[in-house]
Amino acid sequence: MAVQTIGLIGMGCLIALIFLRVPVGVAMGLVGLCGYAAVDGWAKAFRVFGEVPFDVATNYDLSVVPMFVLMGEVATQSGISAQLYRAARATFSGMRGAQALATIGACAGFGAVCGSSLATAATMTRIAIPEMRRAGYDDRISTGSVAAGGSLGILIPPSIVFVLYAIISQQSVPKLFAAGLIPGIVLAALYMVCALVTLMVKPSWAPSESAGSWRQRLHDLVSAWEVVVLFGLSIGGLYAGWFSPTQAAGIGAFSALALGLVRRGLDWNGLVQCFADSIRTTCMLFLIVMSAFIFSYFVVQTQLPGVLVGWIQASHVGPIWLIVILMLFYIVMGCFMDGGGMVLITVPIFLPLIVANGYDPVWFGVMLVVVVELGLIHPPVGMNIFVIQARVPDVPILRVYQGIIPFLVAPMILLAILVAWPQLALWLPNLLYR
Amino acid sequence: MVLNAIERVLRWLTALSAVALLAMVLLVVADVLRSNLLRRPIIGAIDLVEALLAVVVFLGLPQVIFAEGNITVDVIDHFIGKRAVALLRASGGLLTFIYLVLLLWHMFAPAIDTLTFGDITADLKLPVFYIWIPVLFGMAASALAALMVFLRQFRGSNEAGKR
């Protein structure tokens, strides 16, 4: 049997197993092992299979994962998100829909200390939705702005999805973090425009609010200094070239712990919870990463990426259409899979195709993360929607869907801007890491 | 009682994993401070971070497996009955157990190689086999946790069938 046929059978089995509820990590590992054995024999396959877990779990570059996850968990537990929300509210105070804009702004700020969109959405649901309800906002605009804003967590550095992409595509983590920053800010601004336009069409969704006193606003703004310190020390140090990614993650986690403990927001139980949650997330990710490596060795053996490049070249699909097709594929896949799994499964297959068509792998990483974000919020199965609905179960899911629909335009506009003008993502990494 | 004892062991392993994570953070911070203030980085910091990462991952994994914390796609639940879902969960549990046992079994050969060839870490010159000990132990505990999850799910699928 031709290796390419084995590859296609392997892909089919992987999809079938995942849909039959086999854990994603287990499905990738088993298909990778059996496929590799079918191409190159069991002896070699078992050799690779036995070595990969140790190699992955002792990979220095991957040590950023548990430490950035810990930084985000501590920031969540120690109440930094509430302060950010107050600061963002002070910024937009007096505008119609100030709290919806504040939610998106606070999510963007929280994304700067937390690498996970689900965590950002979960923590902001707890903070922003009760406040917006008290002020008389419609549940649709409040859940919509939390879902949309929450997705910024993985585009604004630090970002766990960028780290996974960097590892599997052998790109630089600092470059990817730099590439995500400006598109992240642009996306936050686009979400705000979406919120304002929605409120122009549906003015009854938000009450008119009076501006707070300047003294109060200044006080609330200054109270967000901790986020500035955390981001400045960790990611700022990384951009300035003071730290390696691992060092930036260690400094970030340590500073978050120190601030949490000194501010007394974090007690013993909270601390234990932070570590337990960080370890759970880390181990879940590592099991998938180990399996993804086993799977990617199989993909390389099957020569499928090369065949795919050949097909595309023979069918004369222009590079732009290739990107459009891939993005549509990811949007559909985002209905069923989480972002990390999606990146780890598909990048070994698609990246050679992207590079062969003249695209920059760093730019593609940003595109991928934006499309993963879209997957987090698009109905019917965006994970952020479920996270929010689980925390405010009295809001029917249909109302959450109605709330999120106006925001779906923003990531699509950003994707179009990135295609038309890749420098939006590449300017900063090229400036910093020439 | 056996179940309680195993659960306690898994919680202790998670606690050790947490200690390793804290140690990793403190080590990295100490290394950054020494490198920048004294211009004398900690020798072997990279070796230690790598070893600690292995401890964090492999001693934390058993509890994650036991709590069924693996990422699973559950779209099919909306289209099939409860008994079928329970059966699929049990099959997923069985495959997880088989996968982890296979991994454990085939991790012994490279582990023993490091002992036979006397592999050492780059800076500290520590035997690499030392790092393999918590790795193999954690993998064995993960396989055991997967077996318990499978038995739990299997009983659940039987009960779902009776209802």
**What are the Cα distances from residue B145, in Å, to A308, B21, B140?**
40, 22, 9
Rounded CA-CA distance B105/B116 in Å is: 18
Query: Is A280 close to B50, i.e. CB distance below 8 A?
Result: no
Please provide the average confidence, as pLDDT, over all residues in chain B. Answer: 90
- Top-confidence residue, A171 or A24: A171
Choose the mutation target among A67, A283, A288, A337 for the interface with B, i.e. most B CBs under 10 Å: A283
Q: Is A142 on the interface with B (CB under 8 A)?
A: no
pTM here? 0.88
What one-character DSSP code corresponds to residue A136?
T
Helix, strand, coil abundance in chain B, percent, nearest 5 = 80, 0, 20
pLDDT of residue A165: 94
Rounded CA-CA distance B59/B20 in Å is: 9
Query: How many domains would you assign to chain B?
Result: 1
Q: Is the dihedral of CA A182, A184, A190, A193 positive or negative?
A: negative
Residue B50, pLDDT > 90, answer: yes
Q: Are A3 and A303 in contact (CB under 8 A)?
A: yes
Residue A35 token pair: 């496929």
Q: Using CB atoms, which residue from B26, B92, B103 is nearest to A49?
A: B103
Residue B163, pLDDT > 60, answer: no
Q: Assign A336 a pLDDT band (cuts: 50, 70, 90).
A: low
Q: Is B109 on the interface with A (CB under 8 A)?
A: yes
Binding-face residues of A in 167-186 toward B, CB within 8 A: none
Cis peptide before A380 (omega within 30 of 0): yes
Query: Is A340 close to B109, i.e. CB distance below 8 A?
Result: no
> What's the complex ipTM?
0.93
Closest CA to A166 of A407, A351, A402, A378: A351
- Top-confidence residue, A34 or A344: A34
- Tell me the shortest Cα–Cα distance from A301 to chain B, in angstroms: 20
Phi-psi group of B120: left, alpha or beta (phi > 0 → left; psi -120 to 50 → alpha; rest → beta): beta
Which contiguous run of DSSP H or E holds residue A52?
helix A42-57
Provide the terminal-to-terminal Cα distance of chain B, rounded to the nearest Å: 28
State the CB neighbour count (10 A cutoff) for residue A315. Answer: 9
Structural domain including B34 reads 2-162
- Tell me the shortest Cα–Cα distance from A320 to chain B, in angstroms: 31
